Amino acid sequence: MVNLSIIFEDDFLVVIDKPPNVSVTDEGVKAGEETIASILAKELGIKAERGGIVHRLDKATSG
């Protein structure tokens, strides 16, 4: 299980410190592999079609 560091959260926005080696979305990942989108869906009880991603970091990138 990946633990996300939430920097800021309100009713409309979540800002995280993305850990390395975790994909943002499920595009191109193996079945059952955790993504930022799936972790946020579980932890915050939210589910969005695309998640409204402002800046998408590559899987190996952190920040």
* 22: Cα within 13 Å, side-chain hemisphere: 19
Per-residue pLDDT, 63 = 65
pLDDT of residue 8: 95
Amino acid at site 50: R
- What is the C-alpha to C-alpha distance for residues 61 and 49, in angstroms, rounded to an integer? 23
Type of residue numbered 7: I
pLDDT per residue over 36-57, tens digit each? 888 888 888 876 665 566 666 6
Give phi and psi for 57, each to the nearest 5. -90, 145
Domains of the chain, by residue range, sit at: 1-63
- What residues does 14 pair with on adjacent strands? 9
Q: Which amino acid is at 58?
A: D
